[in-house]
Amino acid sequence: MYRAPRGTSDILPQEQPYWRYVEQKAASICQLYGYERIDTPTFEEAQLFSRSVGEETDIVEKEMYTFKDKGGSELSLSPEGTAPVCRAYVEHGMHNLQQPVKLYYIATTFRYERPQAGRYRQHHQFGYEAIGDDDPALDAEVIDLAWQFFKSCGLVGLTIKLNSIGCKKCRPGYLATLKKYYSGYVSTLCSDCRIRLKRNPLRLLDCKNPSCQKITSSAPRSIELLCPECDGHLRQLKQYLGLLDLPFVENHRLVRGLDYYTRTVFEVQPEEGGAQSALGGGGRYDDLISKLGGKPTPAVGFAAGMERIILNLKKQKVPIPTLPKPQVFIAYLGEEAKDEAIKLASKLRREGIAVLEALGTRSLKAQLRQANNLAVKYALIIGEDEVKSGKVILRDMITSEQKTVSPSELERLLR
């Protein structure tokens, strides 16, 4: 028997109301803030991600689904959404548009990870990017949008974690300080962190290993070594977040797992935190567009995992509206009546009324049982008499009341 590949899942009809609900909340909030939808391909040139996300990140080193197609091009299934959007921005000359360009997406995302609750090999992200302005007010807007989005979904008890990791001017100095600090603890660090110390020292800060965390608690903090511009940006951002009444906590350990971030990084976390719990994260990436061949263009964005949002909606028992289903079932008695039933079903559907119809040669009783199981409100019954008169029996499935009606009356009643 075949099964869905490890770390992937089917989204069955009973799950669909959650997905439609979250997608609709995402679309409405984006409309409120002036973001337009963009869809990029499921796969891109592999290099797009190694250049942007970073050669020495977990995503690029261990998690990408990369393959050669029949023409020999090296492609990767998208492991994240920001790089493709930036590629599209550059490719389509969007710097000629009014800046910032504000785009959002809901995309399937692929990472070869060890599957566990809230972590899959195929997941979906709702993300948005504001490209073309370095005003900290735009960072504040991006954070506000994330907050209002989760709120509109009905989620409570969330926190915003905030940090600044500086820019290409001040980060090298910070990294040197960080390396010097951790070099004093090499023997205590976990094996991963010893590699990070050489290759990606920023990631030392978010190691989950308790002994590394102990060392990190007194590690030098990036915000203490920001250049005056980055420092000013952070101060201004915090002031705007205050104006917006957004409850953020500064966290010097927050660095995020992708290399393109500059200055602002943030995450939204549900109450019971933990390694795999972030609902979403984002930040500023002022050097990415130029790295991908565009003009130097500052930008800021955010992405949230759809599956994690839905997990939290279920945990918090948020009521989700059901999706509409047909409320009418057509039953018949005999071959001639079946012909009429087929015609009637088609006519009602063309008029915009959703109907289900019986099939086969089951008894009327069995057909009505089926209607009952489907929990429709009405059954339409066509028997020999109705074939002759051109009318149908309308049965209220709740009260069992029946009456014979003409086609025009039927449509009016069903509406």
Q: What gap in Å lies between CA 294 and CA 62, rounded to an integer?
A: 28
Closer residue to ligand AMP (CB): 227 or 311: 311
C-beta closer to ligand AMP: residue 112 or 181: 112
Q: Which of 84, 100, 281, 298 binds ligand AMP (CB under 6 A)?
A: 281
Least distance to ligand AMP, CB of residue 263, Å: 16
Q: Where in 49-88 is the site for ligand AMP (CB under 6 A)?
A: 80
Give the alpha-carbon dihedral of 311, 312, 314, 317, to 10 degrees: 180
Q: Rounded to an integer, what distance in angstroms lies between the CA atom of residue 381 and that of residue 56?
A: 67
Nearer to ligand AMP, 279 or 358 (CB): 279
Stretch of 118-126, 237-245, 338-346, 402-410 lying at the interface with ligand AMP (CB under 6 A): 118-126
Among 18, 120, 182, 266, binds ligand AMP (CB under 6 A): 120
- Please report how close the Cβ of residue 206 comes to ligand AMP at its closest, in angstroms: 12
The smaller minimum CB distance to ligand AMP, of residues 50 and 125, is found at: 125
Q: Nearest distance from residue 133's CB to ligand AMP, in Å?
A: 22
Smallest distance from ligand AMP to CB 166, Å: 19
CB of 57 to ligand AMP, least distance (A): 10
Q: Least distance from C-beta 80 to ligand AMP, angstroms? A: 4
Give the number of other CB atoms < 10 A from CB of residue 7.
17
Output the smallest distance, CB 258 to ligand AMP, in A: 7
Least separation in angstroms between residue 277's CB and ligand AMP is 8
Identified binder of ligand AMP from the candidate list 145, 167, 303, 379, rule CB under 6 A? 303
Strands 280-284 and 262-269: antiparallel
Could you tell me which of 114, 145, 377, 98 has the C-alpha nearest to residue 282?
145
**In terms of CB distance, is 125 or 251 closer to ligand AMP?**
125
For the CB of residue 274, give the shortest distance to ligand AMP in the complex, in Å. Answer: 12
22 binds ligand AMP (CB under 6 A): no
Residue 123 as a binder of ligand AMP (CB under 6 A): the answer is yes
Q: How many residues bind ligand AMP (CB under 6 A)?
A: 18
Q: For ligand AMP, which stretch binds (CB under 6 A), given 19-27, 65-73, 120-128, 406-414?
A: 120-128
119 binds ligand AMP (CB under 6 A): yes
**Please, which of residues 230-269 interact with ligand AMP by CB under 6 A?**
257
Among 136, 280, 283, 294, binds ligand AMP (CB under 6 A): 280
Stretch that binds ligand AMP, among 111-119, 133-141, 318-326, 399-407 (CB under 6 A): 111-119
- C-alpha to C-alpha distance for 307 and 123, rounded to whole angstroms: 7
Closest approach of ligand AMP to the CB of residue 96, in Å: 28
> Is residue 127 a contact partner of residue 81, using CB atoms and an 8 Å limit?
yes
Which of 118, 154 has the CB closer to ligand AMP?
Answer: 118
Measured at CB, which residue is nearest to ligand AMP? 305
Residues at the contact surface with ligand AMP, assessed by CB under 6 A: 80, 111, 113, 118-120, 123, 125, 257, 278-281, 303-305, 307-308
